[in-house]
Amino acid sequence: MPKPPPPLWLLAEVTHSCPLQCPYCSNPLDLIPKKDELDTENWLRVLHEARQIGAAQLGFSGGEPLVRKDLEVLIGASRKLGFYSNLITSGIGMDAERVERFRALGLDHIQVSFQADDAVLNDYLAGTNSFQHKLDMARAVKANGYPMVLCFVIHRQNIGQVRQMLDLAAELQADYVELATAQYEGWALLNRDHLLPTQAQVREAERIAHDYQAKLKGKMRIYYVVPDYYENRPKPCVGGWGRVFLAVAPDGLALPCHSARGLPGLELHNVRERSIEWIWNESPGFNHFRGEGWMKEPCRTCDEREKDFGGCHCQAFKLTGDPTNADPTCAKSPHHHLVEKAIDTSELGLVPAKPMVFRQRNKRLEVKG
């Protein structure tokens, strides 16, 4: 096999701990406990090795990365290595001073996420009073010379307020706003019947987003991507398996996609045991879905396979039981009815049988079958 192209993105999931409890969290139900987290020294080695093989974008995420006391050390090191570093945060765990410190250490970008545009819904979804602090932090970010980048995760509980969210962002003078779709993995998948919006809601949100894009052109950039469930075609899995993206989980497991843990037949390695270079270039896990050898029908002969690479393997596994099936969000998939059925449940406004489950802070969830 020819040597793969270099990874461009390193996602450092430095912890699964988080002071919030969002029910749409895409972290696994089996949260990694603090005692199993990589230590500072190992993270520094990961950064160094990933940079050496060409990673340029670095994301600190989690969980809530601010929980890590050594975040300053990691940020300082990434700047020296030449990374463009992104902090993906809820804003809880920093104050204006810490933002200033990050700036001085060379952090390039901070993205602050909101649950909603108003305190009541925001704090309900977050499970914590956090709205006011988020506003303060969004302002602190901008006051430190950063572009203000806000992210709202959109789902049925808040999709009716997209207009208000964009108004809030405009009022805060945000530079970028991402209206992100909940990724139906982990906690979000568990709560899917509470979260999946209806087709009409998705289209209305799209219309409003386009409206504001036109209205605020040149002032605020708005990203809104229609969720794959409604598009009849999957999104390319993380830009193609093992093509651009490398994630390292809190316990050091290197992942081609942040939800790839637990895919059957996938042999993954830990950065404690192997170098990043070996993991990226040689490891069976990263080579598993490279190329097209793994494909079955309908993907194998599909003329769109270079566009989406068959979609998301984790989604294929979670919904069909086999990660080598076509992503069932694709209308050509023989399992597409599973996705249609999930949307139907939201169309019909059925009251889900189970209550919404808020994410645990750092404990594991006992899932009883």
> Which residues contribute to the site for ligand SF4 (CB under 6 A)?
185, 233-234, 237-238, 257, 259-260, 298-299, 302, 304-305, 308, 310-315, 326-327, 330, 332
Residue 175 touching another protein (CB under 8 A): yes
DSSP 237: G
Beta carbons within 10 angstroms of residue 265's beta carbon: 12
Listed ranges 14-22, 40-48, 78-86, 327-335: which one lies at the site for another protein (CB under 8 A): 78-86
Of 4, 8, 232, 356, the residue at the interface with another protein (CB under 8 A) is 8
Of 4, 70, 76, 176, the residue at the interface with another protein (CB under 8 A) is 176
Pairing state of beta strands 245-248 and 254-255? antiparallel
Residue 2 touching another protein (CB under 8 A): no
Q: Which of residues 83-122 bind another protein (CB under 8 A)?
A: 84, 86, 108-109, 111
Task: Sort residue 101 into left (φ over 0), alpha (ψ -120 to 50) or beta.
Answer: alpha
Instruction: Report the sign of the C-alpha dihedral through residues 250, 255, 260, 261, in that order.
Output: negative
How many degrees, rounded to 5, is the angle at CA 43 between CA 39 and CA 44?
115
Query: What does 327 bind: another protein, ligand SF4, none (CB cut-off 5 to 8 Å by kind)?
Result: ligand SF4
Residue 298 touching another protein (CB under 8 A): no
Of 29, 44, 56, 180, the residue at the interface with another protein (CB under 8 A) is 56
Contacts 24+ apart (CB under 8 A), 197-201: 197/154, 197/155, 197/156, 197/159, 197/227, 197/346, 198/156, 198/343, 198/346, 198/347, 199/230, 199/343, 199/347, 201/156, 201/159, 201/160
Beta carbons within 10 angstroms of residue 5's beta carbon: 12
What H or E segment, with its residue span, contains residue 10?
strand 9-13
Residue 144 touching another protein (CB under 8 A): no
Query: Which is closer to another protein, CB of 74 or CB of 326?
Result: 74
Query: Which is closer to ligand SF4, CB of 45 or CB of 305?
Result: 305
Query: Which is closer to another protein, CB of 58 or CB of 135?
Result: 58
Which residues are at the interface with another protein (CB under 8 A)? 6, 8, 52-54, 56-57, 59, 82, 84, 86, 108-109, 111, 145-147, 149, 175-176, 221
